[in-house]
Structure 1
Amino acid sequence: MTVMKGCDLVIHSAAIKHVPAAEDNPQECIKTNLIGSQNIIDAALFHQVERVVALSTDKAAQPINAYGASKLLLEKLFVHANLIDDESNTRFSVVRFGNVFGSKGSVIPFFLKQREQGFLPITDASMTRFSITMRQAVDMVLFTLMESWGGEIVLPVAPSYRITDVATAIAPNAEQRIVGIRPGEKLHELMFTAHDTPRVVRQGTYYIICPEVGRWQLTDY
């Protein structure tokens, strides 16, 4: 509980983030991604931290795997945390990333290494994903820290792309070998759902999902 003493801003990025790892270890996924997140909330409220931003994922939109489900519940914990103490000035918000180019375990470093073998494993030729750069990820967090009122989920305005297009760009002469979808994987991710749409507003290069419950009104945006 004392770890946040004297802190003004907190960025919560700790997670079991790989889909296969979470599918194989759902108990550990719950401990880290949910119980750990509640510990962050409790400590931030206790020490009156000014702003707390949690990192989430597009896999939280209509989740089909343990990782995505845990991040959806993390989002709900952080949105609701703004209502726990009416006298608290602590504000909790969320940023929802797509895949981050160059991050550990992401597809581009894997393809760059794998192309030396002369083939790239492709789960499904029609699979699509959203991605952002590391710089965009940092800018999203900074924007949310500076501009959030509490309860928002901030998303990038980003097009989706086919995994095969990335494979072709990285290794145009390599064989693209179909290996099948892994447990818990989707063919197509979403940034937000049809249920979210009435509460989504756009601010520049970001979409913001406004909270269903709380002190804010859409007209405030």
Structure 2
Amino acid sequence: MNFKGKSLLITGGTGSLGKALTTHILSNYPEIRRLIIFSRDEQKQFQMAQEYPATKFPQIKYVIGDVRDKMRLIRAFKGVDYVIHAAAMKHVHIAEYNPEECVKTNIGGAQNVVDACFETNVQRVVALSTDKACAPINLYGATKLTSDKLFIAANNIKGDNSIRFSVVRYGNVMGSNGSVIPFFIDKRKNGVLPITDPNMTRFNISLQGGVDMVMHALENAWGGELFVPKIPSYKIMDIAEAVGPKCEKPIVGIRPGEKIHEEMITASDSFYTYDLGKYYVIVPATREWSLKDFVLEFKAKKVSEGFSYNSGENKEWESIDSLRKLIKEHVDSNFKI
């Protein structure tokens, strides 16, 4: 990806993935003209500015704003070439308790981003999704599915505009804010790791894996694709054993809106799903480009009808030992048993 002379904006830029993207872009593309960190959390922006000061990184610009505010987005998007939309309300139980707020941010905010892109000269947009958007049973997942549909459908109304919208969907990001591993590491101080359901499984991806996928979509998307990574699963009991083998592990029951296993591709998606090697891609049912040319360009292989991809039936699994290594590498370098 050539970022020379280009400007990129990250909504929700002070979150875990936003910070990881910032590190990656500044390290690999120092020639970028401008990197805008857009978020509504002034304290996180203040803290991030200590880590990435404008004096050392003149490319960075910190902008306070909320994706609920379309006019603020339009102002922020002026002169921007690429947008990565990472802003969202993401905690399942909080969304269940505050549904209207979740809808305003995750659906209204998504539409505002689309509208602001059309009002300015943004060329490429990558929106972050979640495994919970696949066959959703909770409000968070339903709002993110709607967001996915808004971004994908935006390609159909762009007219002569050369903009491309795409979506990336992945599972739990190891060590991200509010995720289970930092939670367990904190709880083991008290010797008790609460388990929702002993059969629960989740997909697992590192922050860098998430970054790589976003960058892949930003560079390679033709418009309307939904990218899904091939990543391992883990069992919640294995995570608990990896973090606190001597801890008590009481079963507390699943929270409202939780699944036992997460999905990223359903059997209904299989009719539009292709294997790209490192990733799967769900192509849009309505598209302006040639599917035949797409298949040739990326050596894409159609999956079999009825194919599905979920964390409980995955072919690749993390072990207790591999989880401990990953925790030390990606979450806490001082981690010890």
For the aligned pair, the TM-score class normalised by the smaller chain equals over 0.9
- C-alpha offsets along residues 23-66 of structure 1, whole Å, 9 cap, x if unaligned? 01110011000111101001111112110010000001100000
Indicate whether 1:147 and 2:212 are aligned.
no
2:104 is aligned, of 31, 36, 40, to: 31
Counterparts of 1:93 and 1:147, CA distance in 2:
10
- C-alpha offsets along residues 101-144 of structure 1, whole Å, 9 cap, x if unaligned? 11100001001111111110000000111110000010000000
Counterparts of 1:218 and 1:82, CA distance in 2:
15
SS at match of 1:119: coil
Aligned to 2:148: 75
Indicate whether 1:5 and 2:78 are aligned.
yes
Instruction: Please tell me whether the aligned partners of residues 154 and 209 of structure 1 are also in contact (alpha carbons under 8 angstroms).
Output: yes
Aligned to 2:280: 207
What value does the CA root-mean-square deviation take over the aligned residues?
A: 1.0
Instruction: Please tell me whether the aligned partners of residues 151 and 210 of structure 1 are also in contact (alpha carbons under 8 angstroms).
Output: yes
SS at match of 1:137: helix
| Structure 1 unaligned residues grouped into runs of 5+ | none
CA drift of 1:6 comes to: 0.4
1:185 is aligned, of 254, 258, 270, to: 258
SS at match of 1:131: strand
Aligned to 1:123: 196
Aligned to 1:109: 182
Counterparts of 2:93 and 2:289, CA distance in 1:
37
Aligned to 1:197: 270
Aligned pair count? 221
1:57 is aligned, of 130, 134, 143, to: 130
Matches within 5 A, 1:139-178: 139-178=212-251
SS at match of 1:93: strand
SS at match of 2:157: coil
Counterparts of 2:289 and 2:148, CA distance in 1:
17
Aligned to 1:47: 120
In the superposition, the TM-score normalised over structure 1's length comes to: 0.97
Q: Structure 1: which amino acid aligns with 2:224?
A: G
Aligned to 1:22: 95
Instruction: Please tell me whether the aligned partners of residues 55 and 96 of structure 1 are also in contact (alpha carbons under 8 angstroms).
Output: yes
| Structure 2 unaligned residues grouped into runs of 5+ | 1-73, 296-337
Instruction: Please tell me whether the aligned partners of residues 199 and 218 of structure 1 are also in contact (alpha carbons under 8 angstroms).
Output: no
CA drift of 1:85 comes to: 2.2
Q: Structure 1: which amino acid aligns with 2:145?
A: L
Q: Structure 2: which amino acid aligns with 1:176?
A: K
CA drift of 1:217 comes to: 4.3
Of 143-152 and 165-174, deviating more is 165-174
Q: Structure 2: which amino acid aligns with 1:76?
A: K
Counterparts of 1:218 and 1:87, CA distance in 2:
20
In the superposition, the TM-score normalised over structure 2's length comes to: 0.64
Counterparts of 1:158 and 1:29, CA distance in 2:
28
